[in-house]
Amino acid sequence: MRKETRVYNVYKFKELKKEIQDKVIEKLNDINTDYEWWEYMFKDWTAKLEKLGYNDVKIYFNGFSSQGDGACFTAQIDLLKWAKTHKLSAREIKAIDKGDITGRITHNYGYYFSTSTNVDINSSNDNDYINKTREKIEKMIVEEREELGDELYRELKKENDYLTSKEAIIETIEAYDYDFLEDGARF
């Protein structure tokens, strides 16, 4: 049996040559995104949507480098809560209650654009004022779900851009105190 001892020069990231640092950053470009990093954002957004009257929220997104990228959500809508948070009139709130108006947002498309959902607002009572109220609410929710989906996607993109930035990658390397060989390989 033969025993062999090898000696390696080990470097901290800042001690590496600039071109080797660049190589390390490129190799570790997904160090901050190789897990479901968006889960905490989904929790925050679910709470935000629930405050607006959306229940049983499910969030979908795809990003960040193709034509089909976007974000959307599905939900049951508590229309009385929604109407109150959106400051509808007392008469409109009464029409929602009296007209047994219900609502939901469903996914209808292979992509996750903010417009990839259907808004369905229905009423079991059929009179002119209830129908006008139902139509108004549907129009408002169609616009709102698009604005919210776009805002959600912008936040996800901003977070992804940060997590994949040179600065964030270096912060992670230094926080975990990685050691490297002279060629940039992790020790």
Q: Can you say whether residue 70 is alpha, beta or left, with left for phi > 0 and alpha for psi between -120 and 50 degrees? A: left
Asked if 73 and 117 touch (Cβ cutoff 8 Å), the reply is yes
Domain layout of the chain by residue ranges? 11-32+164-187, 36-159
As a residue count, the chain comes to 187
pTM for the model stands at 0.88
108-119 burial, b for 16+ CB within 10 Å, e for fewer?
eeeebbbebbeb
Quick one: the chain helix, strand, coil %, rounded to 5? 50, 15, 35
How confident is the model at residue 166, as a pLDDT?
A: 97
SS3 at position 91: helix
144 contact partners, CB below 8 Å, separation of at least 6: 52
The pLDDT score that the predictor gives to residue 133 is: 94
Q: How far does CA 34 lie from the centroid of its chain?
A: 16
pLDDT of residue 174: 97
pLDDT value of position 167 = 98
CA dihedral 167, 151, 46, 131 (to 10 degrees): 180
pLDDT confidence of residue 109 = 80
Instruction: Mention every residue, 6+ apart, whose C-beta is less than 8 A from residue 7.
Output: none
Q: What are the mean pLDDT values of the chain's consecutive 10-residue runs (187 residues total)?
A: 90 97 97 94 98 97 88 97 96 90 92 94 89 95 98 96 97 97 95
Other beta carbons within 10 Å of 18:
7
How many C-beta atoms lie closer than 10 Å to residue 120's C-beta? 13
The predicted structure's pLDDT at residue 112: 93
